[in-house]
């Protein structure tokens, strides 16, 4: 694979162009895309033209560039989370019908919870989790539920490198949260991401006893009904785990 003058391969530059789109932003001007990707305008223009030829990007009047539907199609058709989402959806729908609040499904990606599915409805509380969005492990009940059920070596590696940009949370605090979540079988965080919401999540464990996901809800802070919420989530998580193939 030929390299650019900056030393980046063509694949590297393609990834930089696609990753330059911020979460929730559907289009960028070509000049802004070049700036955000850190590539020369001429290189960005050439890559955009080539990617658009394959439907991975779309171009519009005035130099507007959008992520293409072909990219969305390929990702969703071949996503490694497809089987997980299909197995989880009936159980997520059942939980939402009972709670009338947000239900989400996340996997562990590095030191973050990556949300792969979410159900919501009008009138439910604010939920900062977005499909394909990420949250650091320590500020997400889903992240804590996931990390607390990982092998001890991975937890130790995570805690060793842990840094909170705000400086308000220490590794010792997170270590305590992980131990508490592992002992309880669920994770909870109240008022961390949003002062008026409360997140509860449980691990989804497959037939090989691997923690592959976390199933969680976001409810009003006033509705702290652990006795009702946790058993419902755990029952749903067990159902999802049984549906996953070996």
Report pLDDT for 150: 96
How far apart, in whole angstroms, are the C-alpha atoms of residue 51 and residue 76? 18
Report pLDDT for 4: 44
Backbone angles phi, psi at 39, to 5 degrees: -110, 155
pLDDT of the chain, 246 residues: tens digit per residue = 334 445 578 899 999 999 999 877 889 999 999 999 999 999 999 999 999 999 999 998 888 999 998 888 887 776 778 889 999 999 999 999 888 788 999 999 999 999 999 998 776 777 777 888 899 999 999 999 999 999 999 999 999 999 998 888 999 999 999 999 999 999 999 888 788 889 999 999 999 999 999 999 998 887 667 778 899 999 999 999 999 865
Least Cα distance to 141 among 241, 222, 226 occurs for 226
Task: Compute the residue count for the chain.
Answer: 246
Q: Which two three-digit tokens encode residue 19?
A: 């990753």
Task: Report which DSSP code applies to 205.
Answer: E
User: In Å, what is the CA distance from 7 to each residue of 35, 39, 134, 142?
Assistant: 18, 12, 29, 38
């Amino acid at each position: 694979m030929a390299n650019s003058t900056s030393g980046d391969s063509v694949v590297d530059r393609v990834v930089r162009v696609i990753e330059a789109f911020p979460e929730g932003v559907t289009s960028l001007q070509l000049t802004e895309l070049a700036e955000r990707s850190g590539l020369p305008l001429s290189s960005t223009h050439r890559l955009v033209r080539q990617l658009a030829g394959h439907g991975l990007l779309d171009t519009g009047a005035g130099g507007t560039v959008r992520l293409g539907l072909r990219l969305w199609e390929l990702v969703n058709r071949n996503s490694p989370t497809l089987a997980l989402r299909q197995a989880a959806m009936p159980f997520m729908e059942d939980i939402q019908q009972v709670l009338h609040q947000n239900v989400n499904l996340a996997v562990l990606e590095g030191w973050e919870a990556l949300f792969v599915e979410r159900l919501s409805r009008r009138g439910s509380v604010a939920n900062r989790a977005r499909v394909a969005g990420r949250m650091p492990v320590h500020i997400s009940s889903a992240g804590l539920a996931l990390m607390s059920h990982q092998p001890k070596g991975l937890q130790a590696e995570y805690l060793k490198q842990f840094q909170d940009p705000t400086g308000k949370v220490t590794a010792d605090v997170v270590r305590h949260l992980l131990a508490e979540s592992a002992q309880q079988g669920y994770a909870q965080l109240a008022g961390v991401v949003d002062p008026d919401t409360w997140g509860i999540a449980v691990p989804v464990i497959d037939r090989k006893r691997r923690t592959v996901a976390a199933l969680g809800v976001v409810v009003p802070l006033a509705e702290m009904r652990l006795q009702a919420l946790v058993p419902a989530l755990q029952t749903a998580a067990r159902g999802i785990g049984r549906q996953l193939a070996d």
